[in-house]
Amino acid sequence: MSATSTATLGAAREAYEPVIGLEVHAQLKTLSKIFCGCSTRFGAIANTQVCPLCLGLPGVLPTLNARAVEFATMVGLAVGATIAERSVFARKNYFYPDLPKGYQISQYDRPLCLGGSLAIRSGDQWKTVRLVRIHLEEDAGKSIHPEGREGVDTTRVDLNRAGVPLIEIVSEPDLRSGEEATDYMARLRQLLVYLDVCDGNMEEGSLRCDANVSVRKKGAAELGTKTEIKNLNSFRFVDRAIAFEIDRQVALLESGGRVVQETLLWSSERGVAEAMRSKEEAHDYRYFPEPDLLPLDLTPAWIESVRARIPELPHQLRERLVREHKIPEYDAEVLTETRSLATYYEEAAAKSGQPKLASNWVMTEVNAVRNKNGLAIEAFPIRADRLGEMVRMIADGTISGKIAKQVFELMLSDPAAPGELIRRHGLLPIDDEAALRALAKEVIAANPGPAADFRAGKEKTFAFLVGQAMKQSKGRAHPEKLQSALRTELAEKG
């Protein structure tokens, strides 16, 4: 595309509103598959976690995994969905090499959960994305294609994944950009991980999504023709594929063409979404109720017992941190990235007695080291109580923020208490009055101009003199005592 046509598209793009809905597949963290006892462990040798049932051999009967139902119900309750007291499994018939039965057991017209919503960020606003439904289903196997694999010359099928329990979470078309879709995915992932029902590992395929994308002229009530982009398995792909498809549809409509309803596959190598199959050849799944499974009946008491086991959710935790620790909403957002990071913060805040200062240290210094080394907070070398102890020493004036950074560096590789490290490395603060007065004298002598200005009433130069003295002491001077020593010295020779 030439520079001119890109600019024209940019202008035309402004006249359109993208409409996006996501279908997210999340693998439930059960030990065994949804209808048999085979293991769900990821990474096993191909076709070692299979049995006659998940291979679809004749004469087998599925048995529903109760834990999968419990996990799916938990997700439904957490998003405020209505849990159906009766839901029905259905056969979704299609032919594919990774589906030996010739059908997938899913739920069709009577899903487990209906409705609900998820709050996402849109710019600096919160926005509610409505959900259509959440249903239970089994995963298919995996085709392993020869491209890029040494010693493999044909496509092979691994059925370890066949029968792994999934939930499909279908949103209303409430999303308006790739960024909103990415935030939705990220918040859904966070919720599932908080609930401990999905490991959220996108690289291993535990969470993936299909995006339905259409565009319409701004202000139009009718929806445009949509396309579906299949199997997006990273946040970056969600963002890029949707942005690509919006631009493609706008360019097509602007050049007088029309969007054809079709299924697209995102190629991350080439950065394009390409047609997989068009609507004309699309499958008729011939859904019908699964004859080998009874309807799934749940009692209200059982549903309530699941509700009682729901832990504190991300938005509840955020609100509580703001309320109890008086920290800004932004801090709470960063600190609740994972449940364990929030726990770490709360321990450090309690130990320090300084919730905001503790928050600053976790968000900046702790997170910087973690990001640089790819460390989960569980593996971070400074435990929360030690960090809290150091923050307390800053707050009570024992050490300056500058010395604290040196102490923090030492703590990363030395498990000793911060007080001990301060002593051992000669970082003890200078708080002796005589020493501070001598330091003040020196700084005044070295900066006669600013000293004279201060004496003439220019209060502003005081901060400069404090800075010089701090620098001279290599950050060790006790801040308040230094200030009072400086004032005394400045007053004396005024």
Q: How far is the CB of 32 from Zn ion (least distance, A)?
A: 8
Segment interacting with Zn ion, rule: CB under 5 A, options 35-43, 244-252, 309-317, 454-462: 35-43
Choice between 62 and 475, CB closer to Zn ion = 62
Q: Is 185 in the site for Zn ion (CB under 5 A)?
A: no
Report the alpha-carbon distance of residue 392 to residue 140 in Å, rounded. 54
Q: What is the dihedral of CA 345, 350, 356, 358, to 10 degrees?
A: -50
φ, ψ of residue 21 in degrees (nearest 5): -125, 145
Element (H, E) at 454: helix 448-455
Segment interacting with Zn ion, rule: CB under 5 A, options 53-61, 109-117, 246-254, 361-369: 53-61
Q: How far is the CB of 26 from Zn ion (least distance, A)?
A: 20
Sign of CA dihedral 394, 399, 400, 406: negative
Between β-strands 296-297 and 86-87, what pairing exists: parallel, antiparallel or unpaired?
Answer: antiparallel
What residues are paired with 289 via a beta bridge? 90
Q: Give me 271's structure tokens.
A: 């950065």
Helix/strand number for the chain, H first, E second: 17, 17
Segment interacting with Zn ion, rule: CB under 5 A, options 49-57, 198-206, 412-420, 467-475: 49-57
Q: How far is the CB of 202 from Zn ion (least distance, A)?
A: 25
Q: How far is the CB of 197 from Zn ion (least distance, A)?
A: 21
Report the alpha-carbon distance of residue 104 to residue 287 in Å, rounded. 10
Q: How far is the CB of 164 from Zn ion (least distance, A)?
A: 10
- Sheet hosting strand 288-289, strand order edge to edge: 103-107, 89-93, 288-289
Report the alpha-carbon distance of residue 458 to residue 362 in Å, rounded. 38
Q: How far is the CB of 67 from Zn ion (least distance, A)?
A: 15
Q: How far is the CB of 104 from Zn ion (least distance, A)?
A: 15
**Residue 164: partners with Cβ closer than 8 Å, 6 or more residues away:** 27, 33, 34, 40, 138, 139
- Per DSSP, the residues of 101-155 read TSEEEEE-SS-SEE--EEEEEETTEEEEEEEEEEEEEE---EEE-STT-TT--S-
Sign of CA dihedral 439, 444, 446, 450: positive
Choice between 137 and 346, CB closer to Zn ion = 137
Choice between 50 and 193, CB closer to Zn ion = 50
# chain residues binding Zn ion, by CB under 5 A: 5
Choice between 36 and 77, CB closer to Zn ion = 36
* Of 396, 478, 395, residue with least CA distance to 437: 478
Q: Are residues 81 and 51 in contact, defined by beta-carbon separation less than 8 angstroms?
A: no
Segment interacting with Zn ion, rule: CB under 5 A, options 29-37, 69-77, 131-139, 305-313: 29-37
Q: How far is the CB of 68 from Zn ion (least distance, A)?
A: 14
**Residue 215: partners with Cβ closer than 8 Å, 6 or more residues away:** 16, 17, 18, 19, 224, 246, 249, 250, 253, 259
**Residue 189: partners with Cβ closer than 8 Å, 6 or more residues away:** 198, 200, 202, 207
State which of positions 133-152 bind Zn ion (CB under 5 A).
Answer: none
Q: How far is the CB of 208 from Zn ion (least distance, A)?
A: 22
Show the site string, 286-325: x = touches Zn ion by CB under 5 A, - = not. ----------------------------------------
Choice between 56 and 115, CB closer to Zn ion = 56
Q: Give me 180's structure tokens.
A: 């909103």
Choice between 34 and 120, CB closer to Zn ion = 34
Segment interacting with Zn ion, rule: CB under 5 A, options 44-52, 107-115, 324-332, 472-480: 44-52
State which of residues 19, 22, 26, 38 lies at the interface with Zn ion (CB under 5 A): 38
Q: Give me 109's structure tokens.
A: 């017209």
Choice between 51 and 57, CB closer to Zn ion = 51
Q: How far is the CB of 36 from Zn ion (least distance, A)?
A: 3
* Of 386, 465, 464, 394, residue with least CA distance to 429: 394
* The residue to which tokens 């596959």 are assigned: 265
Segment interacting with Zn ion, rule: CB under 5 A, options 15-23, 36-44, 205-213, 221-229: 36-44
Choice between 46 and 322, CB closer to Zn ion = 46
Segment interacting with Zn ion, rule: CB under 5 A, options 34-42, 98-106, 113-121, 416-424: 34-42
Choice between 164 and 241, CB closer to Zn ion = 164
Q: How far is the CB of 35 from Zn ion (least distance, A)?
A: 8
Q: Is 36 in the site for Zn ion (CB under 5 A)?
A: yes
Segment interacting with Zn ion, rule: CB under 5 A, options 31-39, 244-252, 458-466, 470-478: 31-39
Q: How far is the CB of 52 from Zn ion (least distance, A)?
A: 8
Q: How far is the CB of 159 from Zn ion (least distance, A)?
A: 9
State which of residues 7, 31, 44, 51 lies at the interface with Zn ion (CB under 5 A): 51
* The residue to which tokens 């890109």 are assigned: 6
Choice between 54 and 129, CB closer to Zn ion = 54
Rg (CA), the chain: 30
Q: Is 54 in the site for Zn ion (CB under 5 A)?
A: yes
Segment interacting with Zn ion, rule: CB under 5 A, options 30-38, 175-183, 349-357, 372-380: 30-38
For Zn ion, the binding residues (CB under 5 A) are 36, 38, 51, 53-54
